[in-house]
Amino acid sequence: AQSVTQLGSHVSVSEGALVLLRCNYSSSVPPYLFWYVQYPNQGLQLLLKYTSAATLVKGINGFEAEFKKSETSFHLTKPSAHMSDAAEYFCAVSEGSSGDKLTFGTGTRLAVRP
Amino acid sequence: NAGVMQNPRHLVRRRGQEARLRCSPMKGHSHVYWYRQLPEEGLKFMVYLQKENIIDESGMPKERFSAEFPKEGPSILRIQQVVRGDSAAYFCASSQDKTTAYGYTFGSGTRLTVV
């Protein structure tokens, strides 16, 4: 069984500040990990994914995440927040190469203050 | 190259009616997944289909819910005799392969409201 925990259902940062959204996972097999972003009333857009290659993964819109096996974490960061980053962010895990479905965290809503 | 198309975007049904949600996968994708998002929650897996086959329906409620992906046409998620608790956003995703390695492509969802 696999699970995802996202610490902090709401995060607020100032424009230009560092964004850090936390994700911890559990998986009985080497996982694949994903971050998705959801804007209001829209579907999910893939930000980045880890599939057992480089542990530091760069995604779209300046986001990146680092896979840390020892900490079972896959935190999402961005050096400087933009107003357009305000959205809900979901971390998800699948059972590596044999996985055919995603298990999602409950999401973190990011607010960006001017 | 159109993405995953879902319709309708919004659907209102009275209790006891049927809801039919449609999903057309991306061109070249033969794997379809349905997820449900309840208010203030993450997405929960419901069912995974390939053409004419249900591969994994471990997340589907045992009653009133069914899904199909016929040889021709879109995938359909059908909810019979809807109840208030079925109100949610239903998302379809597609991929070109069984593995999640590519990451899914999600549609914009159907928001079902049961009144």
What residue of A is the nearest CA neighbor of B91?
A: A43
The confidence score (pLDDT) of residue B97 equals 77
Q: Smallest CA–CA separation between B15 and chain A, in Å?
A: 23
The confidence score (pLDDT) of residue A96 equals 67
Contact A106 B91 (CB under 8 A): no
Contact in structure between A31 and A17 (CB atoms under 8 Å): no
Residue pairs between chains A and B whose CB atoms are closer than 8 Å: 65
DSSP label at residue A43 = -
The first and second tokens of residue A17, run together, are 């500040």
The confidence score (pLDDT) of residue A43 equals 84
Mean pLDDT, to the nearest integer, of B48-54?
92
- Closest of A75, A78, A94 to residue B102, by C-alpha: A94
- Closest of A47, A89, A44 to residue B3, by C-alpha: A44
What residue of A is the nearest CA neighbor of B5?
A: A43
Mean pLDDT, to the nearest integer, of B47-69?
94
The confidence score (pLDDT) of residue A95 equals 76
Amino acid identity of residue B8, one-letter, is P
Note the pLDDT tens digit of each residue in A19-36. 999 999 998 788 889 999
Phi/psi at B95 (nearest 5 deg)?
-150, 165
Mean pLDDT, to the nearest integer, of B101-114?
87
- Closest of A88, A86, A80, A74 to residue A112, by C-alpha: A86
Across the interface, which of B40, B41, B100 has its CB nearest the CB of A102? B100
The first and second tokens of residue B94, run together, are 């597609």
Contact A102 B107 (CB under 8 A): no
**Which chain A residues are within 8 Å of B40, Cβ to Cβ?**
106
Mean pLDDT is lowest, of A30-34, B11-15, B22-26, B96-100, for: B96-100
Amino acid identity of residue A30, one-letter, is P
Q: Is the pLDDT of residue B114 over 60?
A: yes
**Which chain B residues are within 8 Å of A36, Cβ to Cβ?**
106
The first and second tokens of residue B49, run together, are 């289909």
The confidence score (pLDDT) of residue B101 equals 64
Across the interface, which of A34, A90, A106 has its CB nearest the CB of B103? A34
DSSP label at residue B72 = S
A78 contacts: CB under 8 Å, gap ≥ 6? A18, A19, A61, A62, A63, A64, A85
Say how far apart CA A80 and CA B100 lie, in whole Å: 30
Mean pLDDT is lowest, of A93-107, B9-23, B57-71, for: A93-107
pLDDT < 70: residue spans in chain A: 96-99
Say how far apart CA B96 and CA B31 lie, in whole Å: 6
Q: Is the pLDDT of residue B103 over 80?
A: no
Contact B100 A44 (CB under 8 A): no
Q: Quick check: A94 contacting B, CB < 8 Å?
A: yes
How many other CB atoms are there within 10 angstroms of residue B111's CB atom? 16
The confidence score (pLDDT) of residue B105 equals 86
The first and second tokens of residue B28, run together, are 């070249």
